[in-house]
């Protein structure tokens, strides 16, 4: 299957010839794993976060989305494929979020009509693996192309953010990405800190749970401020953001790892102490965290981070990835291990899902 990158992501591509005139487009977009997380919003409707976040875009996991724009009245037709089976009606809550974003993009473009959408994930959805980030990034990129727009990556990031899945703002870019917390049009889109080939890091994802999470990130953002530790985390973040930026620039893995692990634990402390509390961790999460500490004692540089779910992302360097995957895969609590790494970001595909 052939693929092309987006402007600002893959520098070797000349996209000037790719002005979309067709009304159908397919885009494959990866999830991202945040080193410094988005948790709590100043304006949740518009996904304006309290704090900047920094992430690494993955390569192997992806959402793929085909969008067709029909210049006729009617309901949007949304199909979804979660696993290996065929396409079916998307789960109601997810379909509603997709529908709302399609309406938003239609309004933005100043057009009528309706959309046919098919979307699929290569990995379990809604389990803290950022399927919303990749899904809404792919949906935004495919819809704008199907409408004939060939936008700058900053505008694509803003539009993806407006989906309500704020982390989708980061998934339109490859490599290492920062999403600032500003409120203005110029300050609410993500930008690339460094391309994927700047630093080859791996993410070994230990799956301890693949069902949907009990509390959505949206509810987590809503409750974040009710935690007594919310303000303390905000106080710590400027120093941590700077440390992560510097660690990426200097390719200093030990520094990056210690900050990202502390940050993940703090985020979950905020979640566990919010009103009402949110416990994303499962017993399996703790056994993976213990195994990662043991790996470090054995001389393997591996560090953990968890999004809004029980699964553990283990950041490590390429030479250690196999050993980390083997050790974590041996744990009774771990059902599966996904070995991923930093990647160059979304791509346009010529082959459509329908
Ligand atoms: C913990 O509001 O972007 O992953 O819509 O579920 O993707 P979804 O969540 P979103 O919040 C992300 C929360 C987080 C941290 C992060 O990725 O920054």
Record the tokens describing residue 96, joined without a space. 């509603």
pLDDT, residue 10, reads 45
Query: Which atom of ligand 1 is nearest the CA belonging to 216?
Result: 6
Ligand 1 neighbour 36 (Cβ under 6 A): no
Give the closest residue (by CA) to ligand 1 atom 1: 307
Check whether 134 has a pLDDT greater than 70: yes
What's the CA gap between 275 and 255, in Å, rounded? Answer: 33
| pLDDT of res. 1 | 44
Q: Is 130 in the pocket of ligand 1 (CB under 6 A)?
A: yes
> Among the atoms of ligand 1, which is closest to the Cα of residue 307?
1
Q: Mean pLDDT, to the nearest integer, of 115-136?
A: 84
Query: Quick one: pLDDT at residue 9?
Result: 53
- Look at residue 241 and give its three-state secondary structure: helix
Provide the 10 A C-beta neighbour count for residue 297. 7
Q: Is the CB of 167 under 6 A from ligand 1?
A: yes
The model's confidence at residue 86, banded by pLDDT at 50, 70 and 90, is: confident
Instruction: Determine whether the shortest distance from the Cβ of 268 to ligand 1 is under 6 A.
Output: no
- Average confidence score pLDDT of the chain: 92
Q: Please indicate whether residue 313, judged by its CB atom, sits closer than 6 Å to ligand 1.
A: no
Taking the centre of ligand 1 as the mean of its atom positions, its distance from the CA of residue 130, in whole angstroms, is: 7
Judged against a pLDDT cut of 90, whether residue 120 lies above it is answered with yes
CA dist., res. 23 & res. 295, Å (int): 51
Of the candidates 254, 270, 258, 252, which has an alpha carbon nearest to the alpha carbon of residue 308? 270
The atom of ligand 1 lying closest to the CA of 33 is 17
């Amino acid at each position: 299957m052939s693929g092309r990158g987006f402007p600002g992501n893959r520098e070797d591509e000349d996209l000037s010839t790719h002005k979309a005139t067709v009304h159908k487009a397919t885009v494959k977009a990866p999830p991202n794993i945040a080193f410094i997380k988005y948790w709590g919003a100043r304006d949740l409707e518009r996904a304006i976060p309290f704090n900047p976040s920094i992430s690494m875009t993955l390569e192997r996991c992806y959402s793929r989305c085909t969008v067709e724009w029909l210049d006729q009245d009617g309901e949007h037709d949304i199909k979804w494929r979660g696993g290996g089976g065929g396409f079916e009606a998307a789960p109601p809550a997810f379909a509603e979020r997709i529908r709302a974003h399609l309406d938003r993009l239609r309004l933005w473009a100043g057009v009528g009509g309706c959309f046919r959408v098919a979307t699929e994930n290569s990995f379990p959805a809604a389990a803290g693996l950022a399927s919303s980030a990749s899904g809404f990034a792919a949906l935004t990129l495919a819809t704008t192309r199907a409408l004939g727009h060939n936008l700058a990556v900053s505008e694509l990031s803003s539009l993806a953010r407006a989906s309500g899945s704020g982390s989708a703002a980061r998934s339109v870019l490859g490599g290492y990405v920062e999403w600032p917390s500003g409120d203005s049009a110029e300050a609410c889109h993500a930008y690339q800190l460094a391309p994927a080939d700047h630093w080859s890091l791996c993410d070994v994802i230990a799956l301890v749970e693949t069902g949907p999470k009990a509390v959505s990130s949206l509810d987590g953002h809503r409750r974040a401020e009710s935690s007594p530790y919310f303000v303390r985390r905000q106080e710590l973040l400027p120093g941590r953001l700077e440390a992560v930026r510097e660690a990426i620039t200097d390719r200093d893995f030990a520094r990056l790892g210690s900050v990202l692990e502390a940050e993940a634990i703090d985020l979950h402390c905020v979640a566990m102490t919010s009103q009402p509390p949110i416990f994303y961790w499962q017993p399996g999460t703790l056994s993976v965290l213990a195994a990662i500490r043991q790996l470090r004692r054995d001389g393997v540089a591996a560090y953990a981070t968890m999004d809004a779910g029980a699964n553990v992302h283990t950041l490590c360097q390429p030479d250690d990835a196999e050993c980390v995957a083997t050790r974590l895969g041996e744990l009774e609590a771990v059902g599966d291990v996904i070995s991923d790494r930093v990647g160059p970001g979304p791509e346009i595909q010529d082959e459509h899902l329908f």
